[in-house]
Amino acid sequence: MEFHQWNNLIFDLPAAHILQTRQWADIKARHGWRPLPQIWRDDNGRIKAAAMVLERSLKVGGFSDVVRVMYVPRGPLLDWRDEKWGIQVISDLEKLAQRRRAIFIKIDPEVVVGRGIPQTEEAIEDGYGQNVVDWLQQRKWRFSPEQIQFRNTVWLDLSGTEEEWLARMKQKSRYNLRLAQRKGVKVQLGSMQDLPLLYRMYAETSLRDGFTIRNEDYYLTVWREFLEADMAEVLLAEVEGEVVAGLVLFFFAGRAWYLYGMSRNVHRDKMPNYPLQWEAMRRAKARGCQVYDLWGAPDEFNEQDRMWGVFRFKQGLGGEVIRTIGAWDYPARPLMYALYLQVLPRLLSWMRRRGEEQTRREVGV
């Protein structure tokens, strides 16, 4: 299998995802991960499933040797309603982890268990997702204490006209969009030259909103890789010629993703994020996307969740809550896995502290 053909191989698979692309694997390879692409074909040679497996060797305190962990971000990709293929793929991933002597392999496929906020009139449960959970548990997989990606998200339907998009928005969001336009917020395409500015705004956002980010080199690498592949665009919101907010919009296989958004503290009263998202919707539609994934919703839908404000903003744009099974681990070496979980909280806490200190140094706070 030619690695450079990977995107074409997975393009038509169900829930083909930006995090399963060759570009994402290339980026992770520069940061310590080894890509191990896997393909499953039927008797006629047709591709039925795929998984871009990432493997990393770690030196973790408490372990005498370097240990391996494996991760399939937003995969594997297949029709999970076909239980025969699902079990075949899962079985082969278990064997791969055992053969590579990994402590565990983690998956977080986009297997939907429901739509809408639970226990509301809009909630719809999807039995096939629970069925997948049942047979994962039977095979000794466990719900992961380390959820790398968001388990729940918000999707915007890009079908119909722009007037229909406006009609699907909540009244307050329509008002804020028009207010921002009246107050002179302009949105334009950014370029490679804008990436350092984008990072500075992202760092400012992380400190204001209390989340940890990586160093500048990492994000510039991600953004450049996808911009060069024509799989991403930068959008910038300006007020009186001053950039006040931005986002990076990703495209692949008929979907768009809002993975990174950033804003400054100035001119927030002019609501720049509303025209920014409106233009993102228009750009995604022009690229042939049917769905715009706003990337992230609370695990528990209550107002105490730190994501509640951002979630309400996304929902106001007309988005629908999508709930998935989340990340699951297969402990290929159960004893080592148990020890790893004891070390993990301390490791993550140290990484968060170091990340915040580095961000403050980079933005001069």
Tens of pLDDT, residue by residue over 93-134, are 999 999 999 999 999 999 999 999 999 999 999 989 999 999
The answer to whether the Cα torsion of 111, 136, 297, 210 is positive or negative is: negative
Percent of the chain at pLDDT > 70 equals 92
Return d(Cα 91, Cα 188) in angstroms, integer.
Answer: 48
The full set of domain ranges for the chain reads 3-113+125-147+326-363, 159-289
pLDDT of amino acid 359: 46
- How far the first Cα of the chain sits from its last, in Å, is 48
pLDDT of amino acid 341: 85
159-289 maps to CATH 3.40.630.30: yes
Task: Report residue 262: phi and psi, to 5°.
Answer: -150, 150
The two domains 3-113+125-147+326-363 and 159-289 share their CATH topology (first three levels equal): yes
User: Which tokens belong to 283?
Assistant: 């750009």
pLDDT of amino acid 342: 82
pLDDT of amino acid 349: 53
**Residue 216's pLDDT band (boundaries 50, 70, 90)?**
very high
Contacts with 221 (C-beta within 8 Å, 6 or more apart), sequence order: 27, 30
Contacts with 209 (C-beta within 8 Å, 6 or more apart), sequence order: none
**Residue 185's pLDDT band (boundaries 50, 70, 90)?**
very high
∠ at Cα 285 (8, 171), nearest 5°?
140
CATH of domain 3-113+125-147+326-363: 3.40.630.30
What would the mean pLDDT of 63-80 be, rounded to a whole number? 88
